[in-house]
Every structure is written in structure tokens, then in C-alpha cells.
Amino acid sequence: MSNTGQGAATARRVRKRPADQAFRGITTGAGVLILVVLAGVAAFLLIEAWPSFVAPAEEIPGEGGLVLYIWPLVFGTLLASVLALVIAAPLAVLIALFITHYAPRKLAQFLGYVVDLLAAVPSIIYGLWGFTVLAPATRGPAEWLHEYLGFIPLFAGPPSTTGRTMLTTALVLAVMILPIVTAVIREAFLQTPKLHEEASLALGATRLEMIRMAVLPFGSSSIISGSMLGLGRALGETMAVAIVLSASGGVTFNLISSGNPATIAANIALEFPESSGVAIDTLIASGLVLFAITLVVNMIARAVINRRTDFSGAS
């Protein structure tokens, strides 16, 4: 028998081992279980929210219909999350670059531990910090922004006297998602092939030019995917937003006034205990919308990560 025939026979025998077949069945079952759970959650939300879809507009809280109830919540959720991402993503890139290419080894290890530790802090702690420390601290800057940049709709004012504004909420969310985004980007920068870095330096590039030509292009898709993962957490954040944000409803881009749109997750947490009947169905419908938004964000992140697979340090 030829070597090729012997190899094929050996492969067939390996595939027929009971242990391999059992392990394959377990892993397949785990993958299917995830899909079943996801479908079950979607079905539960859809079934429980269905009465609000067919209910008359006057039975929906606010008496304006389901769309008019959910739309300001979607707007507030997206506004707070996108603002947080705009603040956190550039900082995460700079922190990751410092840890991987500028900081001494011991300091880099310490900062890495600190970043990982911040990711484990409960959200209610961030909320209390934002309420007691950050909100009062933003009143002065908010007045300055209104006085000198009030012609911009974002700072039209009048400034809130409590500091519990959309700007403060976005800052708290930015601090919360910063460790997640930084950790993903840091690991990507660490995987940059040393050959690329050394070749750039050998050609006379400065460290900054090496980072621009070798490190950032290699980690660009991870920057996007990490940002999307951070955005996913910001979209679903509940307790911190409920504590910090003084919501009054409506749709506005004004970041420093006392009139702020609520977010879906915080609104559910605040309104659910006192709701009943169609009001609960309406809250679940808003949760279904948040579920769909979060699912789309995570699917985009996964697609970007998959694009990066062929250009990883392990390839």
C-alpha cells in the first residue's frame, strides 16, 4: 500500500474515534445552544411586546403611539453612546500605543493590569462617581461652553444647574468603555510583526513614522472592532445612566441643558417597577428595539474581526 493510501486510512480511523465524535457533538451542541438562546430571547421579546404593537395610540404611555414613545429613547441611546465612543476611541488608541511602544516594560505591565481592573468595576460605581464628582465638576465648563460656543446647537443651553446632562453621561460612558476598547487595541498592537517595525526603522523612519506606517495599518480593523464592542456596552448601559442622567424626554442635540432625552435601558429600569398592562408591553417593545440595535452592532464588529483574520500576527 502506498503512503498516500496509508495516510487516508489513518485519517479515517482517527475520525471514527468515539472520543473525537463525542467532543465534536459537544462543541456543535454548544454552538447550536447559543443560537437557540438568542432566538429564544428574540421570540420572548417579540411575543411580550406584541400587545403594544396592536394597542391603540391612546393606551401607549404619552398617548402618542408606540413609534413616538420609542423614537426619543432610541435617539437618546444613540446620542449618548456615539458621544462616548467619540471620546473614548482616540484615547484608547493613544493609551494602547503608550503601553505597547513607549512605556518601560514594568510600567507597561502595571498599566495593563490597571486597564483590565477598570473593566471589572461595577457600573453602579461609575454612576455614583458621575453623580457625586463629575456632574458638579462639569457645571463650570458647561457655562463656559454656553457663553463662548452657544451658537453651536450642542451647547445652546441654558446650562443645567445640577450638571446631570447628556454631556456628563457621555463622559461617564466613555470612561466605562475605555478599558474594553483599550484592551482590544493593545492586544492588536502587540501582535504587529516585529519584522515590519524593524524594517521601517531600518529605512530611517522615526518611531512616530514607524507607528503610522506599520502599527496603525496592522491594527486598524481591531480599532474598529474594539470600538464597536465598546459601543455595544454603551448602548446597553443601565444603572450608570439612570443615576447620572436627568431625563425629561424629547429629542434634542443640546448636551448641557436640563432637558435631556432618556436612553432605552435606563428608561426601562426606572419605569418598569411602576408599570402595568400595556405600559409593560411598551417597555418590552423598546427593549426589543435595543436588542436589535445591539445585535447589529455586534454583527458589524464580528465581520470586521473576521476580515482581520487573514492579516494577523499568527498568519
Across the chain, mean pLDDT equals: 84
Segment 63-69 mean pLDDT: 81
Q: Which range (14-23, 84-93, 210-219, 278-287) has the least confidence? A: 14-23
Kindly state whether residues 129 and 12 are assigned to the same domain.
Answer: no
Same domain? 206 vs 245: yes
Q: What is d(CA 61, CA 69) in angstroms, rounded to the nearest whole number?
A: 7
Pair (31, 92) in one structural domain: no
Closest CA to 213 of 186, 193, 228: 193
Are 138 and 171 within 8 A, CB to CB?
A: yes
Amino acid letter for position 231: L
- The domain boundary residue, chosen from 54, 71, 86: 54
Domain boundary among 25, 54, 83: 54
Q: Is 260 helix (H, G, I), strand (E, B) or coil?
A: strand
Same domain as 32, residue 161: no
Q: pLDDT tens digits for 218-263?
A: 888 788 888 888 888 898 888 889 899 888 877 888 888 888 888 8
Residue 314 DSSP code: T
Structural domain count of the chain: 2
Q: Grid coordinates in use for 129? A: 462617581
What residues make up the domain containing 26? 1-54
CATH of the domain at 236: 1.10.3720.10
Q: Do 221 and 285 fall within a single domain?
A: yes
pLDDT at 301 over 80: no
179 and 99 within one domain: yes
Given pLDDT bands bounded at 50, 70 and 90, which one contains residue 81?
Answer: very high
The distance from CA 305 to its chain's CA centroid, rounded to whole angstroms, is: 15
Q: What is the pLDDT of residue 4?
A: 56
Looking at the fold, whether 26 and 68 belong to one and the same domain comes out as no
Beta-ladder partners of 260: 247
Residues 90 and 27 in one domain: no
Same domain, 71 and 12: no
> Do 302 and 215 share a structural domain?
yes
pLDDT tens per residue across span 161-219: 888 889 999 999 999 999 999 988 888 888 888 887 888 888 887 888 888 888 888 88
Q: Are residues 47 and 143 in the same domain?
A: no
Q: How many residues does the chain have?
A: 315
Question: Both 70 and 218 in a single domain?
Answer: yes
